[in-house]
């Protein structure tokens, strides 16, 4: 099997760091996002990359989001994966409070406008200088694959 036959390779060189703490922070705007966002955790588990998973809303709990993202680098995180639906501000707000790479996951829900296009545009349309790498709608797995690639770069 060549390295291109699988999407994600394990990151054995980080095994020691992984024992000390998470390298990837998975955050999401609501508990209702958890079932979908847990799929990112599964990919990271398979890649043997340590992660943590937390619910925090950019609109309902903005101070918590700011505090988490400001402290992320100091705590040893390398990448933040942020998933949210509707007016999905979480990835952008995260990127405003950290210089770590932020991967946004636009999510659909029963209240979505245009089948989730609201969240997709909210995640993608960041102002210059505050980057968010976006994956497809309801595709946290790709966010995790991308996080592993960033960590292994």
| Interface positions with ligand AIR (CB under 6 A) | 28-30, 32-33, 57-60, 84-88, 107, 109
For ligand AIR, the closer CB: 88 or 146: 88
Least separation in angstroms between residue 75's CB and ligand AIR is 23
d(CA 39, CA 36): 6
Least separation in angstroms between residue 6's CB and ligand AIR is 30
Least separation in angstroms between residue 40's CB and ligand AIR is 14
Least separation in angstroms between residue 152's CB and ligand AIR is 29
For ligand AIR, the closer CB: 90 or 146: 90
Which residues are CB-neighbours of 54 under 8 A, at least 6 positions away? 25, 26, 27, 28, 68
For ligand AIR, the closer CB: 37 or 79: 37
- Distances 135 to 17, 81, 116, 123, 141 between C-alpha atoms, Å: 26, 10, 13, 9, 9
d(CA 2, CA 65): 40
Read off the DSSP letter of residue 21.
Answer: S
Q: Which two tokens stand for residue 123?
A: 């995640």
For ligand AIR, the closer CB: 34 or 48: 34
Least separation in angstroms between residue 126's CB and ligand AIR is 15
For ligand AIR, the closer CB: 25 or 29: 29
């Amino acid at each position: 099997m060549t390295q291109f036959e699988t999407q994600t390779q394990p990151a054995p060189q980080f095994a020691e760091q992984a024992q000390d703490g998470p390298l990837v922070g998975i955050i999401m705007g609501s508990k209702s996002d958890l079932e979908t966002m847990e799929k990112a955790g599964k990919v990271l588990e398979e890649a043997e990359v340590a992660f943590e998973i937390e619910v925090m809303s950019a609109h309902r709990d903005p101070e918590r989001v700011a505090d988490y993202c400001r402290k992320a680098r100091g705590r040893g995180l390398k990448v933040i994966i942020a998933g949210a639906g509707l007016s999905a501000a979480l990835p952008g707000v995260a990127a405003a409070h950290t210089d770590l790479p932020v991967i946004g996951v636009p999510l659909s829900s029963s209240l979505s406008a245009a089948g989730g296009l609201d969240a997709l545009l909210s995640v993608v349309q960041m102002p210059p200088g505050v980057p968010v790498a976006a994956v497809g709608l309801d595709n946290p797995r790709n966010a995790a694959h991308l996080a592993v690639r960033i960590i292994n770069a």
